[in-house]
Amino acid sequence: MTIQVDVSRRAFLRGTFSLGTALTLEFVEPALAISSCFLTPKETEGPFFPVTFPLDKDNDLTQLEGSTKNADGQMIVVRGVVQDELCRPAPGAMVEIWQACTTGRYNHPRDRNPAKVDPHFQYWGRTVANERGEYGFKTIKPGSYPVNWFWTRPPHIHFKVYSRHHHMLTTQMYFSGDPLNEKDRLLGEHPDQDQEKFIVSFAEFRGIPTGHFDLTLKTRQR
């Protein structure tokens, strides 16, 4: 599976931070990471928010705790900053993601897609933003899946973000260059300038395609 590569390595931060126990990321040039502080557009939760959660609840979805086998598919890293509309970081924000595996199948009882479930994939995970608002996940690029005979959803990752002083955000992240993006009915509901905020380009970083997705939350009035 090919992920479009059109982001400069300069976009990554210098330094190291730990993302839970499973994943440590290194960066270069922190100031370039925050590209804008426009609110991240909301999207529907969709029908496949988990009804049960895996025992393994970390931010590495590519391998279940206690297993020696990796999930099938292209391993990727998604990371960014949780912040508010004034670009102030939101340390302590909880970010959770859920997604289909590489075949396009969710681990959900209402998913009628006949594609194979990957028993080695952790379909849901969560992490907490560090003191600079940074978060990250290691996962695999999800497959596309049919909604009906005329609509196939492009690869996407669902996000929910919870933060004490901000409104909860539910959204989805898409992959730049995927031809299904242009035909997607959910993505198409947003103006082009908003679509750019959650269509992410990936670049090889330490051998793993890595995408930067900032999550900008609306501050709650006190």
Active site residue 190: no
Q: What share of the chain is helix, strand, coil (3-state, %, to 5)?
A: 10, 35, 55
Question: Nearest-CB residue to Fe ion?
Answer: 46
Question: Which residues of the chain form contacts with Fe ion (CB under 5 A)?
Answer: 46
Smallest gap from Cβ 153 to Fe ion, in A, equals 6
156 in active site: yes
106 an active-site residue?
A: yes
Catalytic-role residue among 79, 158, 166, 212: 158
| Min separation Cβ 122 and Fe ion, Å | 16
Q: Which residues 6+ apart lie within 8 Å of 74 measured at CB?
A: 1, 3, 102, 140, 141, 209
Of the residues 79, 108, 153, 166, only one is catalytic, namely 153
Residue number, 69 or 183, with CB nearest to Fe ion:
183
> Which listed residue (106, 123, 135, 162) is catalytic?
106
Note if 158 is an active site residue. Answer: yes
- Is beta strand 145-148 parallel, antiparallel or unpaired with respect to 15-19? unpaired
Q: Of 34, 25, 10, 9, which is closest to residue 213 (Cα–Cα)?
A: 34
Establish whether 165 is a catalytic residue: no
Find out whether 105 and 115 touch, Cβ atoms under 8 Å.
Answer: yes
